[in-house]
Amino acid sequence: MDNYGQFVNQIVDSTRDYVFVRDEDGVLIIKPNKVHYLNRTGVELLGKMYSLPQGQSYLAVKDVASNYGVKEEDVAKDARRLLETILELLKSPECMPVQIKTTSFGSHKRELPVLSEIALTYRCQNKCVFCYASSPERGKALPGMTTDQVKKVLLTIKNDARVPTVSLTGGEPTLRKDIVEIVSYAKSIGLRVNLITNGIMCGVTDLPYRLKEAGLDSAQVSLESSVPEVHDRVVGHPMAFRKTVDGFKKLKSLGIHTHINTTICKDNIGYVDQLPKFAKEELGLEYQSMNMVIRTGHAQDHPDEVGYTEIARMLPKIKSECKKAGIKLVWYSPMPYCIINTVAEGIGGTSCAASDGLLSVAPDGSVLPCSSFENGVGNILRENFRDIWFNRQSLYFRKKEFVPPVCSDCDKKNICCGACPLYWDNRGCFDELGRGRKIIPELIWKAKRKYVGKSRPVGGVADEA
């Protein structure tokens, strides 16, 4: 075998666990959620290389050369360039080589989701002041799926939605007695599995060891402050801080890729700038993620919750503290770019992923636009996935019909898409964007939110905006 063949086989075999090529919409996913786009021949070539057994990927080069009547050497050179690009993306996601195009949710025509999540239960040991799901109260009202039903959903995610990763969330997913079985099954069908947890069960039991044995790939532990009293107050659970930190350390010590996420709210905003040093020195992290409170569930009980403008004032300070600590900040929440451009700030950024980049499944099998919505666009246990994903209600979100009407003249409207529609539902107006008012368009916007988008926030109604 020549050098090209050896290179192709070696690189494909060493990156199989991180690369997913989806033919349906020309998507290359660097797991878990880096999305890139290829032309048709790129999709065909990479798809064939990664679908062949170990040590045989170069046969795809011969096949493509034969099908298109071109020299094998030319196809081999293209394959090498593509694989070198993938290696660069794996080393440095921020560096985007020219051979592959990358875009955020909302800025490229994509047929299917990129990420998936299953809320296994709304039960929880904590009672966070900002909980989007109104846990633990909703855990009593909405029973979870059976183990077999969860497995059915996992198969749908893999085979119909064609998503390579799943996050198991809640509520608190580790309260399910079958959590290890669920993780093991998801791995057995080829999914990458992430756990979103408060870390308490992992801190006080041997669960991390069983999750490791089941194949858990990664975990995100919710830590709301590095000050124990603040964390405990935010989560409504005395002594929770120590259990959460212990759970984090157990998961990380086992080689499970583990990081912390913090939701900024009015109760911890004065302390979040202390987190980077703690995350670096006490937890040994290279990066930490943050997001802002979503105004649903328990957060609706706090009308003075932090907003976009307040977050925009705070983020540069947090970023500065991260730089001092030598830790990278990753920002999850969509933000209006006219208030703060998080991409320009170098901390990440995306538009709302509701019924777009994200497939979100509730404990009863409902497909939600995102986990902060009360009601869904269909039920994955009773309906065909594609019938749900392409229905009018889903398309309302995917086509970004929720973009505030005052954004119509903005040159960035197709990038940030006005941020979170639930935020504007709660605010009741768009004054914060500083673009004046458009009375008739706003009335039309409200009507479409109510009669087309339909889905309402947890604990609220969609037509209050």
Q: Quick one: pLDDT at residue 92?
A: 64
Q: Which residues, 6+ apart, have CB-to-CB distance to 45 below 8 Å?
A: 60, 61, 64, 75, 78, 79, 82
> Which of 50, 69, 102 is the C-terminal boundary of a domain?
102
Co-location of 164 and 76 in the same domain: no
130 and 236 part of one domain: yes
Report the C-alpha gap between 213 and 357 in whole angstroms. Answer: 30
Residue 29 included in any domain: yes
So what's the pLDDT on residue 109? 67
Asked whether the beta carbons of 366 and 379 are under 8 A apart, the reply is yes
Per-residue pLDDT tens for 250-299?
999 999 999 999 999 999 999 999 999 999 999 999 999 999 999 888 88
Clarify whether residues 142 and 208 are in a common domain: yes
Can you tell me the mean pLDDT for 139-146?
A: 84
- Calpha distance 62→59 (Å, rounded): 5
Contacts with 321 (C-beta within 8 Å, 6 or more apart), sequence order: 273, 274, 275, 276, 277
Q: What is the pLDDT of residues 333-386, one digit of tens each?
A: 999 999 999 988 989 877 899 999 999 999 999 999 999 998 899 999 999 999
Euclidean distance between CA atoms 99 and 111, whole angstroms: 22
Determine the pLDDT at residue 139: 73
For residue 322, give both structure tokens.
């991260």
Is 108 within a domain? no
The answer to whether residues 185 and 135 touch, using CB atoms and an 8 Å cutoff, is no
> Which pairs from 42-45 meet CB under 8 Å and 24+ separation?
42/82, 42/100, 45/75, 45/78, 45/79, 45/82
**Residue 438 pLDDT exceeds 70:** yes
**CA–CA gap between residue 165 and residue 18 (Å, rounded):** 10
Higher per-residue pLDDT: 106 or 27? 27
Interval 402-429: pLDDT, tens: 999 999 889 888 889 999 999 998 888 8
* 19 within some domain: yes
Of 358, 389, 420, the residue that ends a domain is 389
Q: 369 and 411: one domain?
A: no
CA distances from 230 to 128, 265, 274, 282 (A): 12, 11, 12, 17
Higher pLDDT, 209 or 41: 209
**Position 49 in a domain:** yes
- Do 210 and 161 share a structural domain? yes
Summarised one tens digit per residue, pLDDT across range 42-72 is 999 999 999 999 999 999 999 999 999 999 9
- Are residues 359 and 434 both part of a single domain? no
Residue 440 has pLDDT above 80, yes or no: yes
- Structural domain containing residue 423: 399-464
Does residue 242 share a domain with residue 268? yes
Residue 95 is predicted with a pLDDT of 38
Using the predicted structure, report yes or no on whether residue 463 has a pLDDT greater than 80. no
Dig out the tokens for 71 from the structure: 């020299």
Q: Are residues 125 and 14 in the same domain?
A: no
Instruction: Answer for the pair 308, 432: CB distance below 8 angstroms, yes or no.
Output: yes
Measured CA to CA, the distance from residue 330 to residue 252 in angstroms comes to: 19
Do the strands 328-331 and 358-361 form a parallel or antiparallel pair, or are they unpaired? unpaired
User: Do 47 and 119 fall within a single domain?
Assistant: no
Instruction: pLDDT band for 459, please (50, 70, 90 cuts).
Output: confident
Residue 109 forms part of a structural domain: no
Same domain, 273 and 168: yes
Q: Are 81 and 132 part of one and the same domain? A: no
The CATH number for 254's domain is 3.20.20.70
Q: Is residue 155 part of a domain?
A: yes
Q: How much is the average pLDDT of 17-25? A: 93
Task: Please tell me the predicted confidence (pLDDT) of residue 1.
Answer: 53
Model confidence at 225: pLDDT above 50 = yes
Answer with the one of 102, 123, 143 that is the final residue of a domain: 102
pTM, 2 dp? 0.90
Q: Which residue is associated with the tokens 């490229």?
A: 108
Residue predicted with more confidence, 464 or 459: 459
Does residue 276 form part of some domain? yes
- Which of the pair, 439 or 394, is modelled with greater confidence? 394
Residues 316 and 414 in one domain: no
What integer best gives the mean pLDDT of the chain? 91
pLDDT tier, 32 (very low <50, low <70, confident <90, very high otherwise) = confident
User: At 41, which amino acid appears?
Assistant: T
Residue 110 falls within a domain, yes or no?
no
Strand order, beta sheet including 115-119: 328-331, 287-292, 257-264, 218-222, 192-197, 165-169, 115-119, 358-361, 366-368, 378-379
101 has a pLDDT exceeding 80: no
Structural domains counted in the chain: 3
pLDDT at 211 over 50: yes
Facing residues of 220 across strands?
196, 259
